[in-house]
Amino acid sequence: MYDAVRSVLEGKESVEKIKNAIVYTEDYSEHMLTFIENHDEQRVASQYFAGNMMAGLAGMLISATIHKGPFMIYFGQEVGEGEEAEKGVSGLDGRTTIFDYWGVTQHQNWMNEGAFDGARLNLFQRHLRETYSNIIKIGTEYEVLQKGKTKFIEIKSENEKLKKSVISYLRYKDSQTLFIGANMSENDRGVVSFRIPEGDIFSKHGRVVFADILNNKNDYEFDCDNSKDIEISLYMEPYAVFAFKIVV
């Protein structure tokens, strides 16, 4: 999964790479730990990976919610820790050294001389950390992520590049359904329409609410007559992420 997610974030593959990885690992996904950073791998914010800390949100949301297994966030990832200088033994390789007595700058900025209040983080880092916290909250609160099925959602966009960089899916089980997605491109943006077929989750007439559980922004409401698909359109900035709880 790591290789698939990384290749898409680096612009080397389309999101089909991730979908294929899910199919390939479906039988044992509950035993797989997903991550996009660890002590062996390069930092997302480093020049050797994405070079942008916001890429971590897109990669982490997908890694944490797309299948049944556990996920890990490496220390400092949530504040955009990168690599800023050449170290002794480790050198300059995009990794946080495990061989040298060295500082971890962005993590130390969050520590703030022992206050642990994040006062030395900039606004982007504070937003980043808050969203990572919400991803953890979603991952622990919604049982459907551990036991539910995954269904990929068809998308439409006038920007053809977004069809390769935007991934979305339903996680569903019994009466609980989550609608999750991300734009994994650094540069491409635009309106994306997501078509959710009737009959998949809508079993009765009435109001359907898409409640934002990740960004705490807009909720969306639709009248469902069980005879047509629901289509929701979102403007997707680079590395935009979303997660909605669908309430019928």
**Strand partners for 182:** 167, 241
Tell me, what's the pLDDT at 156? 95
Tell me, what's the pLDDT at 86? 77
The answer to whether the beta carbons of residues 212 and 242 sit under 8 Å apart is yes
User: Each residue of 148-171: b (16+ CB within 10 Å) or e?
Assistant: bebbbbebebebeebebbbbbbbb
Exposure of 191 in the CB half-sphere (CA atoms within 13 A): 5
DSSP state of 34: B
Digit-coded pLDDT (tens) for 230-248: 889 999 999 999 999 998 7
Which amino acid, residue 135? I
Tell me, what's the pLDDT at 202? 58
How buried is 10 (Cβ within 10 angstroms: 0-12 exposed, 13-18 middle, 19+ buried)? middle
The answer to whether the beta carbons of residues 169 and 218 sit under 8 Å apart is no
Tell me, what's the pLDDT at 8? 97
* Predicted confidence pLDDT, tens digits, the chain (248 residues): 999 999 999 999 999 999 999 999 988 989 999 999 999 999 999 999 999 999 999 999 999 999 999 999 999 999 999 976 777 777 888 998 888 888 899 999 999 999 999 999 999 999 999 999 999 999 999 999 999 999 999 999 999 999 999 999 999 998 899 999 999 999 999 999 999 876 656 555 578 899 999 998 888 887 766 557 888 999 999 999 999 999 87
The answer to whether the beta carbons of residues 51 and 89 sit under 8 Å apart is no
Does pTM top 0.85 for this prediction?
yes
Tell me, what's the pLDDT at 35? 96
What's the CA gap between 41 and 126, in Å, rounded?
Answer: 24
What's the CA gap between 102 and 3, in Å, rounded?
Answer: 28
The interaxial angle of helices 2-9 and 55-65, nearest 10 deg, is 150
